[in-house]
Amino acid sequence: MDFVRLDGERLTLVFALEAGGTADCVYLGARLPEGEDLAMIAAAAARGRHENQPDVPPVPGLLPEGKAGWSGTPAVRLRQYGDHTCKECATDFRLAAWEEYPSEVILHFRDTQLDLDIEQAWRIERAEIVTTQASIWNPGNRKLALDRLSALVLPIPRRFTHFTSFAGRWAGEMREASCSIAPEGFARTSTGGKPGFGGGNWLILEDPTSGEVLGAHLSWSGDHDTRIDVDLVGSADGRAVFQMGAGWDSGAIDLAHDGSHHTPVAMIGLASDRSALAQRFHAHARTTVLPARKDWGPRKVHLNSWEALGFNLSEAGLIALAEDAAALGIERFVLDDGWFGGRRNDQTSLGDWFVSPDVFPKGLAPLIARVHDLGMDFGLWVEPEMVSPDSDLYRAHPDWCLHTQGRDRPTMRGQLALDLGRAEVRDYLFECLDALLREHAIAYFKWDHNRDLFPSAPRQTEGFYALLDHLRATHPHIEIESCSSGGGRIDYGVLQRVHRVWPSDNNDAIERLRIIPAWSQFLPLEVLGSHVGPSPNPITGRRLAMDFRAKVAVFGHMGVEADPARMTDKERKCLAAHIALYKAWRGVLHEGALHRLTHPDANITGMMVTHADKALALVAQTAFSPVFDAAPVRLAGLEPEARYRVTLPEPWPPRAKHYLANPDVWREGLVLSGTALMTQGLALPLTHPETAWLVALERLPQ
């Protein structure tokens, strides 16, 4: 048995490797001292054989298979087919060799009877995120269909006894559910051709004793399969194995034709608590995932036309909206749905990506020119992957949509999905989008995807990536938002190609106080669109004060999705003041470290970002407090010995401000140590529903 360690600055993995046998991960935790005896690490974790086990107890390891008594899900599943037969293959992959590098370990497995090779690559990235990927090769061109290959296989360290998964629905994304790792395990598979509104491709393992957490994600914009298997059937030893992989239809990967297959990248991050875990993922996104993140300028404040105008578009109406937007301090004006073809409602014209002469007799040029004159840049909504049955494109190419020959073509939202696995479809879409960008000064695409994919499309995600990659290579200036009826397609695969995501179609501020903290567990605030919506909210019907809506929207990539003409003068003044606050603080919010603030009142949500010598916190109360004087809010992430000037940026919440004991002191600033702020905290008025405060901190010179 050989032992190999893979080290980050604060993290170590130890692999036990047996040539001709198995590979296992016997340690995952804090960085071990140099010179640690790795054989002793393995010995300390070894267990003797117990009754009712096979004579040689199975070790699922890093490539579990249905052999030797392992009762869980195999990491690889194959079928062999002939002219009239198709049967599942028994596999027996043995570790053949391995390669060691300073930040990477590559494991090579071989099944000699099937003449197949599997490679697993384990790598520690700069942000202490561990990435894994698996590949399979069929050098003998045997007639084999690949049904399953996991991108990540992790024997779960026994200290992690609980986990949190994420589920949701339209307008209610990323709802957390926590439970113990029970005998029945966990399994979640998406089937809509995209991750969905919070499926199993985000997961957190938890050690409730220490608070340590391990987060995992599959960087893939198609279907996924995530599962935890607890062995209580075969060896009945209680070991749990965690797996993540892409989902596809049975036999979708033809190894005889393709010769090989590479899984998407999966990733895990280990941290002392949820805040530290978020910081690991954010650092990974900023340094490794997001396209040229270091070259981004300030994240511009958006105004999107949808909630203001819907399909009721005209050049004059849009110019009036743009003028109102500029008066608020908006920096980017986005024209949403309804600008193209015969698109006067949501049942027509998807695929006909030319400017509608009915709405814009002179084209988009006059509107764009006015937007630029007002000091804003221009963005446009598109939904390229879809087609309406009532469209010129569908009438010309009815075979371009996803369909089963001779079967019905059921629609969703009145639309069908184009088959992006076909080169001619991608070429057509590129030509349309390329023409728009060449003919108009467009800085931003809001790229929507409002339909599940049925029937299934095994090459759809690769086609989507190819189209995005081609477009961005040709037009490197274009910023793109990934939207899929809100948060239906948000993952690190799409984030390699876009600049922000739309977390939810629901911009009700109370709902966003759950949605944004959930997404920000994995995604940095600068990619999370955070808009001030109208009141009453079109989805929840709830009426919320502008001060509350605006303060919540500051924590993200701020925008407005409402009509300023329908706001009172007081509301416009309040909104403009918060836009100015966002501009003053976005450098901190979009580069700093995010901390989750805890409070004994479950209806109080707190988030805080620290960066260099500044910090900004949002503290919001959503329900009537059970006591008049809520417990102080304890801050986080500060230097214990440092001293900070603490202020409450104005405007203050209208009702709650009357309960401040010393308003002038809060304006001038309290000077407190990091220890005091993190231990005793701040007594903020948090008594009434829909109350939010911003708290600003500046570290003073020593």
Over residues 354-399, the pLDDT tens digits come to 999 999 999 999 999 999 999 999 999 999 999 999 999 999 999 9
**236 — pLDDT class (breaks 50, 70, 90):** low
Q: What ranges do the domains of the chain cover?
A: 63-289, 295-591, 595-699
Over residues 56-99, the pLDDT tens digits come to 777 889 999 988 777 889 999 999 988 777 888 999 999 999 99
Q: Does domain 295-591 have CATH number 3.20.20.70?
A: yes
Structure token pair of residue 477: 């200036």
Superfamily of domain 63-289: alpha-galactosidase from lactobacil brevis (2.70.98.60)
Over residues 447-468, the pLDDT tens digits come to 999 999 999 877 999 999 999 9
The DSSP secondary structure of 399-415, one letter per residue, reads GGBS--TTS----BTTB
- Does residue 530 contact residue 519 with C-beta atoms inside 8 Å? no
Model confidence pTM above 0.95: yes
CATH number of 595-699: 2.60.40.1180
Q: Tell me, what's the pLDDT at 248?
A: 78
Q: Which residues touch 37 (CB under 8 Å, ≥6 apart)?
A: none
Rounded distance, CA 573 to CA 557, Å? 20
Q: Tell me, what's the pLDDT at 293?
A: 96
Q: Tell me, what's the pLDDT at 232?
A: 64
Q: Is the pLDDT of residue 677 over 90?
A: yes
Q: Is the pLDDT of residue 1 over 90?
A: yes
The helix (run of H) or strand (run of E) holding residue 257 is helix 255-258
Rounded distance, CA 495 to CA 504, Å? 16
Over residues 395-432, the pLDDT tens digits come to 999 999 999 999 999 999 999 999 999 999 999 999 99
Q: Tell me, what's the pLDDT at 273?
A: 98
595-699 matches 63-289 in CATH topology: no
- Does residue 378 contact residue 371 with C-beta atoms inside 8 Å? yes
β-sheet bridge partners, residue 445: 380, 480
Rounded distance, CA 76 to CA 94, Å? 13
Over residues 278-312, the pLDDT tens digits come to 999 999 999 999 999 999 999 999 999 999 999 99
**Sheet containing strand 332-335, strands side by side:** 500-501, 479-482, 444-447, 377-382, 332-335, 302-304, 557-560, 529-532
- Does residue 622 contact residue 689 with C-beta atoms inside 8 Å? yes
The helix (run of H) or strand (run of E) holding residue 307 is helix 306-309
Rounded distance, CA 154 to CA 241, Å? 6
Q: Is the pLDDT of residue 541 over 90?
A: yes
Q: Is the pLDDT of residue 669 over 90?
A: yes
Over residues 565-595, the pLDDT tens digits come to 999 999 999 999 999 999 999 999 999 999 9
Q: Tell me, what's the pLDDT at 234?
A: 52
CA-nearest of 221, 332, 290 to 523 is: 290
Structure token pair of residue 229: 């298997």
Q: Is the pLDDT of residue 250 over 60?
A: no
Q: Is 205 left (phi over 0), alpha (psi -120 to 50) or beta?
A: beta
